[in-house]
């Protein structure tokens, strides 16, 4: 079974990240197992992640939640391949200094 798992300290709502989230929702409708866990402890993360969780659920991503413990991880597992990085799921991966994540 195809799958996507995301864990992130901060996942914001921007044009870039919404594009990623819409793809996740579409893939879930196609049968891909999509899951996301976002930091639910720190104030900074909650400021972004609460809205992101609500958005993801509103577009059909069912298994998304805020953690009850602090996490600062940035992890993406897609079909048993993983990316562990230093970037949050924000629009900043598109900047000069944070260009190791490509969106297609």
Instruction: List the domain range (segments joined by +) for residue 85.
Output: 3-94
> Does the residue 99 lie in any domain?
no
Cβ of 93: how many Cβ atoms within 10 Å? Answer: 19
What is the structure's pLDDT at 77? 57
| Tokens of residue 2, six digits | 């195809």
Give the distance between the most distant pair of CA atoms in the chain: 36
pLDDT confidence of residue 61: 93
Please report the DSSP string for 46-65 in residue order.
HHHHHHHHHHHHHTT--EEE
Report the CATH number that the domain containing residue 74 is assigned in CATH. Answer: 3.30.870.10
pTM: predicted TM-score of the whole model, two decimal places: 0.72
CA distances, 42 to each of 5, 47, 49, 89, 95 (Å): 21, 9, 10, 16, 25
- Assigned domain for 103 exists: no
| Tens of each residue's pLDDT in the chain, 104 residues | 788 888 888 888 888 889 889 999 999 999 999 999 888 888 888 888 999 999 999 999 999 999 877 666 665 656 665 555 555 556 554 443 444 444 33
101 within some domain: no
């Amino acid at each position: 079974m195809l799958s996507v798992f995301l864990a992130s300290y901060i996942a914001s709502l921007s044009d870039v990240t919404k594009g990623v989230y819409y793809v996740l929702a579409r893939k879930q409708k196609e049968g891909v197992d999509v899951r996301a866990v976002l930091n639910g402890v720190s104030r900074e993360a909650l400021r972004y992640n609460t809205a992101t969780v609500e958005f993801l659920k509103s577009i059909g991503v069912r298994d998304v939640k805020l953690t009850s413990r602090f996490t600062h991880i940035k992890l993406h597992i897609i079909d048993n391949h993983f990316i562990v990085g230093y970037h949050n799921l924000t629009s900043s991966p598109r900047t000069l200094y944070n260009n190791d994540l490509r969106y297609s």
